[in-house]
C-alpha cells in the first residue's frame, strides 16, 4: 500500500491513499473531524497501527535506516559539489514534520531524491563537458 503511494503517480493509481485522509484519522484516533479538515496521525502512529507496540520500534529503525541511506547518497553527491549538501533540507522536509503520514513522507523522499539525482547528473555532465573544452584549449592541464 505504501509502496504504491510512494512510487506511482495518481494518474496510474487513482485510488491510492491520500495524504491527510480523514477516514484513517477518524478510524484510528477516536476523534471525528469534518470533511473540510485534513489531518494526519504521524509516522509513528502509522507504525503503531500497522505493527503494534514492538513493531513500531522496528518500523522506526527501518525509517531511520532509510533516512541514513538518504544522508549517505547526498554525502556522495557532495564529492561533485559541496553545494549539494543543501539538498538535504528539502529532501527530508517531511521526515521531521509531525503531521505527515508514512505514505506522504516516503512519497516525498522517493520523488525528491529522483528529481535531485537528475539535477546532480545534469550538473556533472555540464561541468565535465566544460572541463574537456578547457583542456582542449590548453587552459587546464
- Where do the structural domains in the chain lie, given as residue ranges? 42-136
Angle of helix 43-77 relative to helix 102-136, nearest 10 degrees, comes to 10
Cα separation, 37 vs 77, whole angstroms? 39
The grid coordinates of residue 125 equal: 555532465
For residue 33, give Cα distances in angstroms to 19, 37, 51, 70. Answer: 15, 6, 25, 35
Cα separation, 89 vs 92, whole angstroms? 6
Higher pLDDT, 10 or 79: 79
The grid coordinates of residue 42 equal: 504521524
Cβ atoms 124, 80 nearer than 8 A: yes
Instruction: Of 6, 7, 33, give the one whose Cα is nearest residue 20.
Output: 33
Cell numbers 510512494 label which residue?
Answer: 6
Cα separation, 17 vs 105, whole angstroms? 13
Neighbouring C-beta atoms of residue 32, cutoff 10 Å = 9
- Kindly state the percentage of the chain with pLDDT values over 70: 88
- pTM of the predicted protein model: 0.74
The grid coordinates of residue 41 equal: 496521525
| DSSP three-state, residue 130 | helix
- Asked whether the predicted pLDDT for residue 74 surpasses 90, the reply is yes
- Asked whether the predicted pLDDT for residue 32 surpasses 90, the reply is no
- Asked whether the predicted pLDDT for residue 38 surpasses 80, the reply is no
Residue-wise pLDDT tens digits, 13-29: 777 776 666 677 767 77
Amino acid at each position: 500500500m505504501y509502496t504504491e503511494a510512494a512510487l506511482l503517480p495518481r494518474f496510474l493509481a487513482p485510488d491510492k491513499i491520500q495524504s491527510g485522509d480523514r477516514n484513517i484519522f477518524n478510524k484510528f484516533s477516536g476523534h471525528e473531524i469534518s470533511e473540510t479538515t485534513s489531518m494526519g496521525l504521524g509516522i509513528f502512529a502509522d507504525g503503531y497501527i500497522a505493527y503494534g507496540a514492538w513493531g513500531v520500534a522496528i518500523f522506526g529503525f527501518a525509517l531511520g535506516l532509510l533516512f541514513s541511506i538518504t544522508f549517505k547518497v547526498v554525502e556522495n553527491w557532495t564529492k561533485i559539489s559541496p553545494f549539494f549538501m543543501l539538498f538535504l533540507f528539502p529532501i527530508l522536509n517531511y521526515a521531521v514534520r509531525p503531521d505527515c503520514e508514512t505514505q506522504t513522507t516516503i512519497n516525498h523522499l522517493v520523488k525528491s531524491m529522483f528529481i535531485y539525482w537528475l539535477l546532480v547528473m545534469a550538473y556533472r555532465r555540464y561541468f565535465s563537458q566544460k572541463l574537456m573544452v578547457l583542456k582542449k584549449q590548453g587552459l587546464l592541464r
